[in-house]
Every structure is written in structure tokens, then in C-alpha cells.
Amino acid sequence: MKNYNYDVVIAGCGVAGLYTALKLPREKKILMLSKEDLESCDSMLAQGGICVLLNEADYDAYFEDTMRAGHYENRKESVDIMIRSSRDIIDDLQKLGVRFAQKPDGTLDYTKEGAHSKPRICYHKDITGKEITTNLLSHVKKLSNVTIMEYTTMTDILVSGEECIGMAAKTRDGEVLYIYADDTILATGGIGGLYAHSTNFPCLTGDGCRIAGEHGVELEHMDYVQIHPTCLYSEKPGRSFLISESARGEGAILLNSKGERFVNELLPRDVVTKAILEEMEKEGTGHVWLSFAGVPKETILNHFPNIYEKCLEEGYDLLKEPVPVVPAQHYFMGGVHVDKNSMTTMPHLYAVGETSCNGVHGKNRLASNSLLESLVFAKRAAKEITSTQKGKKEYESNYHAACC
């Protein structure tokens, strides 16, 4: 058993955990834990993109799109914060080196996805999540104040009185670690590893939510699980390969076994999923078909190169034929309840990313809001931690001076 002392400890190395670390002061001593290797986080898998408010005139439409997709169960304050913070996030990512697609004149190119009233999604080919995550990771690795431990799993949080004072963890070799910290952040991702068919990595098993719940930390909407309508149908075991919603935004359509279109592909994800499942049941089939016939060849090859190659590996050429698709578990809208600054109901315990529930997504997440939500509220967590730790040190300093 080993004991460690840090200013901040973060369980999880996806975009939420990484961005929090980047936004904390450089004098803070930070430890980050990765349950598997650094590549095995779901942030790496996000294909479609990241939303941004186009301009002030777009605010009402973006707000309504998010609310409508979430069945109006969204926390309005959180939605407002996310939307109004979006441009600063995109600008910051570009400054850090993220290569979003651009038009010939150098301005950002935007794509459209289901339930969006207009194109407002920044993207990098069909691997936006990987582009952002690898970029953030490269910057975090350069920080001398941040230590990253791979293959180290959080097993519990440490509590004194009613406050979180760190976390317990176990290494791949079975060594137990007690990590004491002024502030603790849960960024352990979603729950896809609990499902037989999911687009998530198997290691995402809801650790943060489970451990928080065991200590009486408030959880919220634990039954709000999103199914993605279009995952590549395969009889091979393992993680389901997602075919981005932006493919449908660019003109791909859903067909039944007779080659008939049966749904508006740009409806919210839960509506499209229901239509697919009903069509499969009616026809007695294990999948439906996604046709790229209406998508220009250059769009397929330049916007969706990863999807194109994966489908080729499975024996389907998107340029010549439709590909079989089926719904699979994709995203978790519930989680550890947090306020607008990502604080949980336990002092000094924060949750960010898919582990948290700040109410942005409501009952059903709008496409490409996940990366944005994670980054916006990770930044707010870092700001809150910085403020509270500064206040604590000033109080201790003043108290010491008064006493002495």
C-alpha cells in the first residue's frame, strides 16, 4: 500500500479530465488515473463533431433544438451556459492545434446532424473525438505538474466527516493506493461496458456513479440511456462500430429489406431508433440498411474515411452498396448530480463528462453536444476548484497571521 498527496486527483483521462487538468493553475500538483491505456477512452471514439453557436441569431434555434431533443427535461440554466460558452471553447481548441475542417476561404466548415435545425457542427473528418483528445493529451503530457498513471483503477473515494479527501485505487499489479487530495474529480465516462451491445469501450462500467452512490452522493436520471440508431451490424463479438449521425446529415438514408425508406433520418435519435426497431420487428430481420447513394463520393472519402474503411473491412463498399445497421447503447444522460460548476452534493467532490449529470441533455442528448458539454463544464470545474482552494489558502494565511 502507498500513500500519495496531491492538490487535485482526477479519475479518467478523456476530454473532460484532460481539459480540467489543462485549466487548473500550473502550481497545482495533479494526479490523473487511466483505468486502461490512454487510448481506451470513449472521447477517442466520437465521430460526428462538436457543436458551436453560429452567431447570436442562432441562439434561440440552438436552445430549442437541444431542449426538443431532450424532451424538455433539460436544465435550462445548464443549456444556456453550454451554448453561450461554445465559441470560446472552439476558439481555444483551435489555438491548441485542433484541426477542424475549413472552407477554401479559411473559415470553419459546419456539418449537420439529426434534430439540428441548421449546420452548426465543427468536425475533423469522422474522427473528431480522436483529434481533440490526442491534442489535449499532448498538451497535458508536457505539464510538469501533472502525473498520469495508466492501468490504475479508482476503487473508492476517501471521506472524512462529510467531505471527500481523495480516492483509493488499485494498479494493474494489484498494489493499493491511497491518494489524498484537496479536491477529487470523477471523469470515469459512461456505462456502456455493462451492455452486451454498445459503442463504448468495455472498461466503461459506471465506476464513478457506483462509488458516489455508495457514499450517498446524489445521482440523477440513472435510467436515461441513449441508443444510437446506426451502428454497423456484425456478428463478430466486441464493441459496436458507430456510423456517425453526420452521415445522415450529409444525405445517407435508411432503407428496409425491400429498399424502401421508412423514416425521416434527421429526427432525434430516440425517434429514429424506435422506427428502426419497429421495422426490424415487422420484417423479422436483424438489421436495416443505410444507403450512401445520395452522398457525393468526395464527401464519403474525405468526410467519412474511417467509416468507409471499416465498412470495406466488413465487406461493404459505401460507394456501391448500402451497409447493414442496427441500434446499440451509446450514451448515458444521467449520472452523478452536479451544479453549474460541476460540484456534487459532497464537498470537494466534482464530476465531469459523461459521469456527471448537469441536466444539459435532458432525456435524450442532441447530437454532437457531448464533447462541448464535457469541455464547458470541465473548465467550470477547474475555475471553481481554483477559486475555492485560493480562498482556503487565504483564510489559513490570515488565520495564522492573526493567531501569531
Positions marked active-site: 269
Q: Give the residue among 380, 310, 325, 357 at the shortest CA–CA distance from 45.
A: 310
C-alpha cell at 80: 444556456
Q: Which three cell numbers stand for residue 215?
A: 457514499
Rounded distance between C-alpha atoms, residue 181 and residue 178, angstroms: 10
Q: How far is CA 133 from CA 3, 19, 128, 356, in A?
A: 30, 9, 9, 19
Angle of the 76-96 helix axis to the 128-141 helix axis, nearest 10 = 70
Distances from the Cα of 210 to the Cα of 41, 127, 203, 240, 246, angstroms? 18, 30, 14, 24, 33
Residue 164, strand partner residues: 159
Grid cell at residue 139: 498538451
Pairing, β 323-332 against β 121-122: unpaired
Three-class secondary structure of residue 188 per DSSP: coil
Non-local CB neighbours of 175 within 8 Å, separated by 6+ positions: 1, 2
Cα–Cα distance, 51 to 265 (Å, whole number)? 19
| Strands (DSSP E) found in 225-359 | 225-232, 253-255, 288-291, 323-332, 335-337, 349-351, 356-357
Contact 33, 8 (CB under 8 A): no
Contact present, 61 and 117 (Cβ < 8 Å) = yes
Alpha carbon of residue 347 to chain centroid: 24
Element (H, E) at 181: strand 176-186
Residue owning grid cell 434527421:
266
Q: Show the cell assigned to 50.
A: 462538436
